[in-house]
């Protein structure tokens, strides 16, 4: 597996405050800005491996319970789905 972006920050954050995290994505993964392109030029999407991102999250959480809290329970509380 490739090194994690941000180094150990992801796993350490999950370990420290799993009940304060929600999963987020910048889908459809737009680029990082204009970079000198004309305003009317459509910005290309970045090639992001969503499966790898969720696999990393699963590895960081270590248990199905913590993964569920991040993906389901905490967002439900935050957005009033519960």
**pLDDT tens per residue, range 26-78:** 766 666 666 677 778 777 777 878 888 889 999 999 999 999 999 999 999 99
| Alpha helices by DSSP H, 3-81 | 9-16, 50-61, 64-68, 74-79
Per-residue model confidence (pLDDT) at position 33: 64
The answer to whether the beta carbons of residues 61 and 18 sit under 8 Å apart is yes
- Model-wide pTM > 0.85: no
Q: Is the pLDDT of residue 1 over 50?
A: no
- Strand partners for 30: 45
């Amino acid at each position: 597996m490739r090194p994690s972006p941000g180094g150990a920050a992801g796993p350490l954050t999950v370990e420290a405050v799993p009940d304060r995290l929600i999963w987020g994505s910048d889908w459809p993964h737009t680029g990082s800005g204009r970079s000198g392109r004309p305003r009317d030029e459509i910005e290309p999407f970045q090639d992001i491996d969503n499966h790898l991102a969720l696999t990393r999250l699963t590895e960081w959480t270590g248990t199905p319970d913590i993964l569920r809290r991040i993906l389901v329970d905490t967002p439900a509380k935050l957005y009033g789905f519960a």
